[in-house]
Chain A
Amino acid sequence: MSATATGAWVIATEEKRLAAMVRAARALGGTVTVVAVGPRALADAASAAGPDGVLWLEPAGAEPVEAHAAHVAAAAADAAPRTLLATVEPGARALLGAAAVRLGAAVVPGVLSLRTEGEGVVVECSAAGGAAIATLACPGPLAALFAGDDDVTAAAAPSAPVRVLDDGTAPADLRVVGRAASGRSAGVRDAERVVSVGRGLKAKADLALVESLASTLGAEVACSMPVAEDLGWVAKERYVGRSGQHISPRLYVALGISGTPQHMEGVREAKVVVAVNNDPAAAIFRTADYGIVGDLYDVVPALVAALSS
């Protein structure tokens, strides 16, 4: 590796996973710079996350973050970091892609951990849709789309200096022309407990059963996509998954839900997932924390009774 290609850049457009990425970058040795593209509060959070320095760029009102990709790429070409990290979030991803290609870096998605090995970096990343973990050695520059756990306990280190990133590169002609509420902000989003129902439910009237469990638990009712979109039994803003709500309750109880990757993506950040399904081979029994194999029409009343005793 050339003497100039050292250190790591963490490209951040939001605070999520920022501390975890700084920590992962730290463990590689070398200097760590956060490139924060967003409001001043983001730059301040970046500074407290423990890097050596922060480069900050604030897009003007109607500019999406993506308008500054060429700008960030040019700065990356100057600094020549060996490793880039960003989350998969749309804005951060666009910035990472631009910088990566400029540096001739390999772009690896689903990165869970990184370590230095000799002159190179070795990463573990998710493979086969998350069913396996692959180890890849990267002898050259690397751009990692980081999917490791967030680091919520990270201590606020002494604040790193924040420098404004401004080289006069004109932003790309991309404009935000409208913002409207998406209808995603139902009670389900922030609920501590959620009881969710899938196509295992036989009739709309049987929702009463689901609601009895929800009220015993003090939970919100959610569902899989077909229950909202195809059957129309539950409001659309209550379905969970890739195209619906992404939620992080402490408890998620899935009743008659098969557990496809598109559904489970919405509850990846739930603390405890419980599945009730009458098919012992259902995919959800490979990802849930707890399961009961049985007919939900028998299990739910028993669960209400057990909770009440």
Chain B
Amino acid sequence: MRAVVAYTWARDVADAAVRQDGTVEWRKDKMSPGEDDHAALAAGLALTTDGGTLVGLTCGNGDASWALARGVEQAVHVTDATPHDDDAATAAVLAAGVRSIGAVDVVLVGDSEEHPGVPVALAAHLGWPAVVGVTTAAARDGRVEVVRTVGDLEETLSLAPPVVVAVAARSAETRVPGMKELLAARKRPVTRTTLAELGVDVPDTLVARGTRLPATAPTRVFDGEPGEATRQLVAALRNEGVL
């Protein structure tokens, strides 16, 4: 199976600070590995353990070596891609990157909370189906078998390649690479390319008109000694009709 894992294709919201006036400031204006990227990578490795290849794909000003330090042998880096509010635009860049890699059976991508439109638009740009919200993947008889939770059910699906699979992490990454892996990663090949070389033009069709703070009521905090604070809380909850 030939798989591609897309990683580090957006900024991390943890790097965004929201000021009192509601404006958003990016303290670190860099693409970062997404919360789900490690799960997509794990699925890619699982799909290619019994032969096959896994190629990394990243875009923007992030660190291409992230996947190379985690078992991926080679990567493609679209260096001049920028963050987009439009998930279809981000997906168009990733799709061009996938096409540049040639024959591919499956593309794995983190099922990001922040950019849920990216995996499905990526599949559409490639003309492939998409299955999202997946937790694990395995290769079986030339097909891709994935598991996901839908309501109270755990669903297993068998997918014919080519297909885009979006993987949601269930927890933080547990095994972080050591110094040796980080050094080895620097020696692995990265093919650097640009939007112009790939022939993608992603005009930003959205016009950003600014940001504001959400109009949520602040938390009503009862302080003081526990007896008094809890009495006030109970009164408030009775008022709400939830007791």
Q: Which residues of A contact B237 (CB under 8 A)?
A: 251, 272, 274, 290
Q: Given A129-B13, A182-B149, A109–B117 Cβ distance below 8 Å?
A: yes
Stretch at the interface among A32-40, A41-49, A131-139, A148-156: A131-139
A96 touches B209 (CB 8 A): no
- A90, A175, A286, A291 — which one has the most chain B CB atoms within 10 A of its CB? A90
Judged by a CB distance under 8 angstroms, whether A66 is at the interface is yes
A184 touches B152 (CB 8 A): yes
Residue from the list B120, B123, B152, B243 in contact with A307, Cβ < 8 A: B243
- A97, A129, A294 — which one has the most chain B CB atoms within 10 A of its CB? A97
CB nearest to B90 among chain A residues: A107
Q: Given A94-B130, A135-B209, A225–B171 Cβ distance below 8 Å?
A: yes
Chain B, 182-223, contact with A by CB distance < 8 Å: what is the 0/1 string?
Answer: 000000000000000000000001111111111011011111
Give Cα distance in the complex from A178 to B156, angstroms. Answer: 5
CB nearest to B221 among chain A residues: A291
Q: How far is the CB of A96 from chain B (nearest CB, A)?
A: 7
Q: Which residues of A contact B117 (CB under 8 A)?
A: 93, 96-97, 100, 107-109, 143, 145
Residue from the list B24, B129, B132, B236 in contact with A132, Cβ < 8 A: B24
Chain B, 139-151, contact with A by CB distance < 8 Å: what is the 0/1 string?
Answer: 0000001001111
Q: How far is the CB of A78 from chain B (nearest CB, A)?
A: 16
B133 touches A90 (CB 8 A): yes
Give Cα distance in the complex from A301 to B227, angstroms. Answer: 9
Q: Which residues of A contact B149 (CB under 8 A)?
A: 182, 184
Number of interface residues of B (CB under 8 A): 77
Q: Given A100-B121, A172-B129, A180-B154, A303–B88 Cβ distance below 8 Å?
A: no
Judged by a CB distance under 8 angstroms, whether A1 is at the interface is no
Give Cα distance in the complex from A128 to B214, angstroms. Answer: 11
Q: Which of A229-254 contact B (CB under 8 A)?
A: 229, 242-243, 250-251
Judged by a CB distance under 8 angstroms, whether A10 is at the interface is no
A93 touches B132 (CB 8 A): yes
Q: How far is the CB of B193 from chain A (nearest CB, A)?
A: 22
Q: Given A272-B242, A291-B220, A94–B86 Cβ distance below 8 Å?
A: no
CB nearest to A173 among chain B residues: B160
Q: How far is the CB of A127 from chain B (nearest CB, A)?
A: 5
B129 touches A69 (CB 8 A): yes
Q: Which residues of A contact B231 (CB under 8 A)?
A: 306
Q: How many A-B residue pairs have CB under 8 A?
A: 263
Q: Which residues of B contact A106 (CB under 8 A)?
A: 85-86, 88-89, 205-206
Residue from the list A98, A138, A229 in contact with B206, Cβ < 8 A: A138
Q: How far is the CB of B106 from chain A (nearest CB, A)?
A: 12
Judged by a CB distance under 8 angstroms, whether B81 is at the interface is no
Q: Which residues of A contact B116 (CB under 8 A)?
A: 88, 93, 109, 145
Judged by a CB distance under 8 angstroms, whether A164 is at the interface is no
Q: Which residues of B contact A274 (CB under 8 A)?
A: 233, 237
Judged by a CB distance under 8 angstroms, whether A212 is at the interface is no
A179 touches B124 (CB 8 A): no
Judged by a CB distance under 8 angstroms, whether B30 is at the interface is no
Residue from the list B87, B120, B233 in contact with A292, Cβ < 8 A: B233
Give Cα distance in the complex from A52 to B189, angstroms. Answer: 56
B211 touches A175 (CB 8 A): no
Q: Which residues of A contact B158 (CB under 8 A)?
A: 174-175, 177
Chain A, 57-100, contact with B by CB distance < 8 Å: what is the 0/1 string?
Answer: 00000001011011001000000000000001010011011101
Chain B residues close to A by CB (< 8 Å): 13-14, 16, 18, 22, 24, 85-89, 91, 113-117, 119-125, 129-133, 145, 148-160, 163, 168-171, 205-214, 216-217, 219-223, 226-227, 229-231, 233-234, 236-237, 240, 242-243
Ordered by A's residue number, 11 sampled pairs between the chains whose C-beta atoms are within 8 Å are A96-B117, A98-B130, A100-B124, A102-B124, A108-B86, A132-B213, A173-B159, A173-B160, A174-B159, A275-B219, A299-B229
